[in-house]
A and B are shown apart, each in its own frame.
Chain A
């Protein structure tokens, strides 16, 4: 009994009628379109489902009941200006009412790239946010900088707020791991990135580097919805760095032995032509590896109580054997409206994750590049191969494949994020929220290194350790909110107090001399060898008072003001409290009379903001001397572990931002453009002092930890731009594009008391020379070194090029003997023209910071198919190819890159003449940059130079994803609400001039950024997945 249904379709936001909305009876061909007044008519029978759809609006489905009139309000999706933005402290507002600079990304967009951790997915999707992968290992770390490096204290990462639970800015976990890897990307509803001071000031002292607010999915009133998301991925082994095969290796070794006068494996390698290819160690270490993820979500509820429960299993095997990441997580989100005036909100997440960090911990990749091809991975009897040469100088590398398989280095983590809040509504306008959130982190790690013998590489003593730690941090917040409208005037005010505190406990134990390599619990080790350590007690604490005021008039002028006073335990009592404040103004130009009737402009808004924010990012107790107990021949002794700085205080940032947001042609073009200027004073930093200070920022036994200090000032200026367009839209085909572009210019303005001579440096481990230097007037951490100018190849080169000199300024002699400079040594440019090469000829060689970072996304929808292609890239940055230094130096026992085959070949002009006569020698391949086979390095050929500092620009196709939405007609018959299947490729290809494995190199330390030390590459992966939602 088909009946006529009629109704009106309006925009949920402004109640205006919507024209041209498509209405269909689900599973049939019956359809209709709304008229100019939003009215429609259609024939259907009770039980049918009506589907209302319109470009850029959320599709809505309504079941026909007995009534004949169905009015529908559609919610906009694509107009970014209508989306809801989280601005902190219980408040969500529409994007069009935002005064600060905030970028948002929906959970669905986030999951396009199949990220292991949610932060990986922000790359190129959010303007102003520079995301760089630190390690491609499963669950590996990501560095995130919002609008440049504002702080040089090691951590520039933003503050994370997950459903109100504060995760402080993360710092280097030291193992390539990612502290955020326990958060399940499938649970994420949206991510809001708060950038300018107006947006972040309410979060106070830990927010100076920006805030990333993660909101998880919540249940909605209605029948239970059950959905499943799952995918399986195969990750491919990465590109290999070119290393010599056995024949090439033998050729080089034989040639070198002849020059050096002593040999390694003379007999074995005598006739290269009879040798095979030998072992390809990278091939042996890298593998194709699977990954899988399964999430089941159930949500629903009634008007008063809503719930969402999701459970996930995720497993990623590493492309380097000996690495793996597994995560189990359960999320429970509850919303209970107990009475008219009382609401309870609960967010709870339980996580168990396990990470095998063996591959990172054992420097497997670097060992694979150092191991020689004449050593087999395994002998026929199953034992592992190793160097058998007994000459002491042959440096022996432990078989990386064996080490990754037989050693243990596991980290297990159990984590609970919990937030419980109570909202009390006193009157229509006045409400109060009290909120208690906690982050409970329980970690265990367990490691064991067995004794082994791989040829001459002997680990005579096995050893193992276990550690347990608990970290509990809680925050208690109480605040009042007042809302009122007087005609055209609206006010929203907030005031509150907050306190947070950490508590931690840890214990670890280590032993050696286990009777067997198979019994690896600490109890099995030799009790005499036992060492242990532990800690119980309070960590840091903060306390804050804050208030925020939002005013708007006539939906045209908006003002936001924030004041916050923060106290932190990280500072001495007299410097403990700091005041932050900000103000912002927004003008909705499109609501002015002169634009109101311009149909093409849906929204146009101008934003201006200024704020002063403070940063407390130093560890506690840096202002007092600390002593640790050590043992020496006299017995117990107290060692001074750090150089204190009793004057340490807050770091301050002045932050200006101007932005414009627009939406044109009924939402077909949305854009946002911001320019900003951040000036940071009193930079907090663990200050790398000269060695004579007895301190270190790195590893130096016996040195004190360098002091934290307020050092100088720095500016970050730039812009970020984001645009999304709907290029083509018709009934069957839609093409949408997204583009983000970020530009940041960093400049160091002062480095404190050191004046113009002051610098902060990072030295290359191999040469011991400074490779990155931070000085006033340049950007932070610029590469520093010499300009390579070819090798000494002709007698003329010795006349035209300066020679390196000793400290007294006397050039080293031209001589093939030890202590001389000779053919095949590298020439460097004498930049100061004083006739010698010394540290005065070093110069700045570029910055590891990209000039631009960008992202380009395109989505094509054709009938039931979606195709998503996403690119991201960096432009204008340099990378220090540090891994190539030792692997391209023929005088080292690790130089097995194939480029070494092109070592400088010396020849005599007169074959009967002297080989030590400078006029009788030349280099036959003068265009090489590899030195000769001479056993002398007086020239310091490996000093950091333009040879190793390489262009790191790249364009990476991060993913291509094809999704198919199964037809509703089929689904409705099997009670499936929606179903899609997809195939995805991640890290599809990279276009770059960089010759290392991957130019994308993140770092925790801005003073030592962009160093490619042979780290764990990001794999290419092929994924298939499905997404099914069942409805009652």
Chain B
């Protein structure tokens, strides 16, 4: 036979040897990093870990979610496993793209084109490592998955080195991403905003009482640059920001990109799982694990804060004309989460959406978040601040929500503002972890106080009187928090596979 008789390339899949040749190839490769299956396993942990752990979301009929809520997380917890898996799936896809582009020798790819695509992948990889560092602390850093074929077992890397790795990725991204791109794709402002947030997070690590001023300054520098020079502004309506029609509003610095009509394992499932009724869902299915707000969250809303309250949580009796429009709107029968509940196919004119594929592109980094990061970085180690920049951007967030401006900022006011602004966006646990780095006792006491005040409990709401009632007789719902409560366990199966993960972390640099 001819020598070529034994050459049998795949007939259904593109071989990477024939790809990464043109800019169009790179756009297809990086598009994959923004949503769909790579992010599929992280979407639910993003919400559940971010909001059930800190006592924002309540649901007890599912063992895994109950463990988050009651701090009895075992090493078998499915949400934790899914989170760990999902983030490393994202990292694997990013690494493959980065390395393939670096190795591509195609003449049609200029350094600018290559670097922009690599910058997108490195931004997204940094986003994944950021969540890993916040939730699990020391984790193994993987940059070339093919090396694992011959050397699979890694040690964890130290927390400070994981953060350093993230800042290097983001710095590259900030330098090589464009000022503007197709809606949904990241820009240099996305990278600078996240870089500010990462520096702010890092500033407390390894410190006691106060934070590292140099890192706080870096945080202020990058976040401030986004606030002042990006030309971006908050979307005018907080309420409408979370509607499908406003997917990828300029305020969204990074949001996951979900297509309707794709199958299980590829689409956004948040509405399907957590909504209160399948009538307001795509495919009229689901509502299996209705997430409720806790008393603790409810109490954060001031009397004037009605727009954000109604956009974030439904109280019993609330009417939502945009949901289930065919039946004249939806009236909540109990308290539950509203964000991510966007209605059914007809409400969104999205005939192909299914229970496994809501078209809502939810944000993991918003401009409002960066505004509040900027204010927090300026506040830094001060007990309070009236700095003009800090107040300007902090109050821009409040103004959009229709609440009164704050005259002065403290750590507590910023934390409260972030909680209200970003509730059910997977952010509050990140805020508490950041706090726990440099004031562990206070952060632990905060969790325990929630419980001793019965604030982690759900509540009933009487629509006629407007009176909310919680049950204060029940025993504490959660086991007492310790500083260990701020670190997730590595899944049991992963530890069995790689016993080195149980060893102390090692430096990466």
* Contact surface of A with B, Cβ cutoff 8 Å: 392-393, 458, 460-461, 499, 501, 528-529, 531, 535-543, 567-569, 573, 576, 620-621, 624-628, 630-641, 643-645, 647, 687-695, 700-704, 707, 709, 752-755, 757-759, 761, 763, 767-770, 773, 784, 806-808, 810, 812-813, 817-820, 839, 842, 891, 936-938, 940, 943
Could you jot down 6 A-B contacts, CB within 8 Å? A625-B96, A632-B35, A632-B36, A638-B32, A702-B85, A704-B96
- Minimum CB distance partner of A635 in chain B: B31
Residue from B14, B71, B85, B287 within 8 A of A638 (CB atoms): B14
> Which listed segment binds A: B141-149, B187-195, B218-226, B365-373?
B141-149
B152 adjacent to A810 (CB under 8 Å): no
A702 adjacent to B72 (CB under 8 Å): no
Q: Which residues of A contact B153 (CB under 8 A)?
A: 690, 754-755, 757-758
* Contact surface of B with A, Cβ cutoff 8 Å: 1, 5-17, 19, 25, 28-29, 31-32, 34-41, 61-63, 66, 70-72, 74-76, 78, 81, 84-86, 88-93, 95-97, 100, 139-140, 142, 145-146, 148-154, 182, 184-185, 247-248, 256-259, 261-266, 283-285, 287-290, 351-352, 354, 359, 361, 475-479, 482, 484, 487, 489-500, 502
A839 adjacent to B61 (CB under 8 Å): no
Residue from B139, B262, B479 within 8 A of A813 (CB atoms): B479
Q: Which residues of B contact A700 (CB under 8 A)?
A: 41, 85, 89
Roughly how many angstroms separate A597 CA and B428 CA in the complex, as a whole number?
A: 95
Roughly how many angstroms separate A630 CA and B37 CA in the complex, as a whole number?
A: 8
A626 adjacent to B185 (CB under 8 Å): no
Q: How far is the CB of B152 from chain A (nearest CB, A)?
A: 5
Q: Count chain B CB atoms within 10 A of each CB in A640, A688, A810, A891 and give the residue with the most.
A: A640
Residue from A501, A767, A938 within 8 A of B5 (CB atoms): A501
Q: How far is the CB of A963 from chain B (nearest CB, A)?
A: 51
B497 adjacent to A633 (CB under 8 Å): no
A633 adjacent to B184 (CB under 8 Å): yes
A460 adjacent to B285 (CB under 8 Å): yes
Knowing A701-B265, A702-B265, A842-B496 touch, does A806 contact B484 (C-beta < 8 A)? yes
- Minimum CB distance partner of B255 in chain A: A633
- Minimum CB distance partner of B62 in chain A: A393
- Minimum CB distance partner of A540 in chain B: B8
A621 adjacent to B492 (CB under 8 Å): no
Roughly how many angstroms separate A703 CA and B88 CA in the complex, as a whole number?
A: 8
Q: How far is the CB of A537 from chain B (nearest CB, A)?
A: 3
Q: How far is the CB of B40 from chain A (nearest CB, A)?
A: 5
Q: Which residues of B contact A568 (CB under 8 A)?
A: 6
B152 adjacent to A687 (CB under 8 Å): yes
A576 adjacent to B35 (CB under 8 Å): no
Roughly how many angstroms separate A621 CA and B490 CA in the complex, as a whole number?
A: 33
Knowing A631-B36, A689-B148, A770-B493 touch, does A625 contact B15 (C-beta < 8 A)? yes
B493 adjacent to A703 (CB under 8 Å): no
Roughly how many angstroms separate A978 CA and B284 CA in the complex, as a whole number?
A: 68
Q: Which residues of B contact A528 (CB under 8 A)?
A: 351-352
Roughly how many angstroms separate A806 CA and B487 CA in the complex, as a whole number?
A: 11
Give 20 A-B pairs besides A460-B283, A753-B151 with Cβ atoms closer than 8 angstroms: A501-B5, A538-B8, A573-B7, A621-B15, A627-B15, A627-B19, A628-B13, A633-B248, A634-B31, A694-B92, A702-B38, A702-B40, A757-B499, A807-B490, A810-B484, A812-B72, A819-B70, A819-B71, A819-B72, A936-B72
Q: Which residues of A contact B84 (CB under 8 A)?
A: 691-692
A640 adjacent to B149 (CB under 8 Å): no
Knowing A625-B100, A633-B256, A807-B75 touch, does A692 contact B150 (C-beta < 8 A)? no
A692 adjacent to B88 (CB under 8 Å): yes
Q: Which residues of A contact B145 (CB under 8 A)?
A: 643, 693-695, 704
Q: Which residues of A contact B93 (CB under 8 A)?
A: 639-640, 694, 702, 704
- Minimum CB distance partner of A687 in chain B: B149
Q: How far is the CB of A93 from chain B (nearest CB, A)?
A: 31
Roughly how many angstroms separate A694 CA and B152 CA in the complex, as a whole number?
A: 12
A626 adjacent to B16 (CB under 8 Å): yes
- Minimum CB distance partner of B31 in chain A: A637
Q: Count chain A CB atoms within 10 A of each CB in B72, B97, B154, B256 and give the residue with the most.
A: B72
A769 adjacent to B262 (CB under 8 Å): no
Q: Which residues of B contact A627 (CB under 8 A)?
A: 13-16, 19, 29
Roughly how many angstroms separate A625 CA and B495 CA in the complex, as a whole number?
A: 28
Q: Which residues of A contact B262 (CB under 8 A)?
A: 630-632
Roughly how many angstroms separate A367 CA and B164 CA in the complex, as a whole number?
A: 50
B150 adjacent to A691 (CB under 8 Å): no
Q: Which residues of B contact A687 (CB under 8 A)?
A: 149, 152
A693 adjacent to B28 (CB under 8 Å): no
- Minimum CB distance partner of A619 in chain B: B10
Q: Which residues of A contact B261 (CB under 8 A)?
A: 529, 631
Q: Which residues of B contact A702 (CB under 8 A)?
A: 36-41, 85-86, 89-90, 93, 265
Roughly how many angstroms separate A700 CA and B32 CA in the complex, as a whole number?
A: 17
Q: Which residues of A contact B152 (CB under 8 A)?
A: 687, 689-690, 693, 753-754, 758
Roughly how many angstroms separate A713 CA and B55 CA in the complex, as a whole number?
A: 51
Q: Which residues of B contact A752 (CB under 8 A)?
A: 150
Closest 7 CB pairs of A and B: A694-B92, A633-B257, A537-B11, A625-B16, A701-B265, A393-B61, A632-B36
Q: How far is the CB of B507 from chain A (nearest CB, A)?
A: 18
Roughly how many angstroms separate A168 CA and B491 CA in the complex, as a whole number?
A: 39
B496 adjacent to A541 (CB under 8 Å): no
Knowing A461-B283, A541-B8, A768-B492 touch, does A633 contact B92 (C-beta < 8 A)? no
B154 adjacent to A692 (CB under 8 Å): yes
Q: Which residues of A contact B500 (CB under 8 A)?
A: 757
Roughly how many angstroms separate A767 CA and B95 CA in the complex, as a whole number?
A: 31
- Minimum CB distance partner of A752 in chain B: B150
Q: Which residues of B contact A639 (CB under 8 A)?
A: 32, 36-38, 93
- Minimum CB distance partner of A539 in chain B: B8
Q: How far is the CB of A783 from chain B (nearest CB, A)?
A: 13
- Minimum CB distance partner of B32 in chain A: A637
Roughly how many angstroms separate A565 CA and B151 CA in the complex, as a whole number?
A: 31
Knowing A624-B16, A704-B92 touch, does A392 contact B478 (C-beta < 8 A)? no
B150 adjacent to A819 (CB under 8 Å): no
Q: Which residues of B contact A643 (CB under 8 A)?
A: 92, 96, 145-146, 148-149
Roughly how many angstroms separate A951 CA and B146 CA in the complex, as a whole number?
A: 40
Roughly how many angstroms separate A965 CA and B61 CA in the complex, as a whole number?
A: 68
A759 adjacent to B497 (CB under 8 Å): yes
- Minimum CB distance partner of B11 in chain A: A537
B7 adjacent to A569 (CB under 8 Å): yes
Q: Which residues of B contact A820 (CB under 8 A)?
A: 479
Knowing A769-B493, A810-B484 touch, does A392 contact B290 (C-beta < 8 A)? yes
- Minimum CB distance partner of A533 in chain B: B12
Knowing A633-B184, A644-B16, A689-B148 touch, does A839 contact B76 (C-beta < 8 A)? no
Q: Which residues of B contact A767 (CB under 8 A)?
A: 76
A703 adjacent to B498 (CB under 8 Å): no
Q: How far is the CB of A465 from chain B (nearest CB, A)?
A: 12
Q: How far is the CB of A764 from chain B (nearest CB, A)?
A: 9
Knowing A624-B17, A757-B153 touch, does A638 contact B29 (C-beta < 8 A)? yes
Residue from A638, A692, A769, A839 within 8 A of B28 (CB atoms): A638
Q: Which residues of A contact B17 (CB under 8 A)?
A: 624-625
Q: Count chain A CB atoms within 10 A of each CB in B38, B91, B354 and give the residue with the most.
A: B38
Residue from A632, A757, A813 within 8 A of B32 (CB atoms): A632
- Minimum CB distance partner of B495 in chain A: A839
A694 adjacent to B36 (CB under 8 Å): no
A632 adjacent to B11 (CB under 8 Å): no
Q: How far is the CB of B197 from chain A (nearest CB, A)?
A: 23
Roughly how many angstroms separate A968 CA and B242 CA in the complex, as a whole number?
A: 90
Roughly how many angstroms separate A769 CA and B85 CA in the complex, as a whole number?
A: 15
Roughly how many angstroms separate A542 CA and B495 CA in the complex, as a whole number?
A: 41
Q: Which residues of A contact B36 (CB under 8 A)?
A: 630-632, 637, 639, 702
Q: How far is the CB of A543 from chain B (nearest CB, A)?
A: 5
Knowing A392-B290, A769-B492 touch, does A633 contact B259 (C-beta < 8 A)? yes
Q: How far is the CB of B457 from chain A (nearest CB, A)?
A: 13
B6 adjacent to A636 (CB under 8 Å): no
- Minimum CB distance partner of A701 in chain B: B265
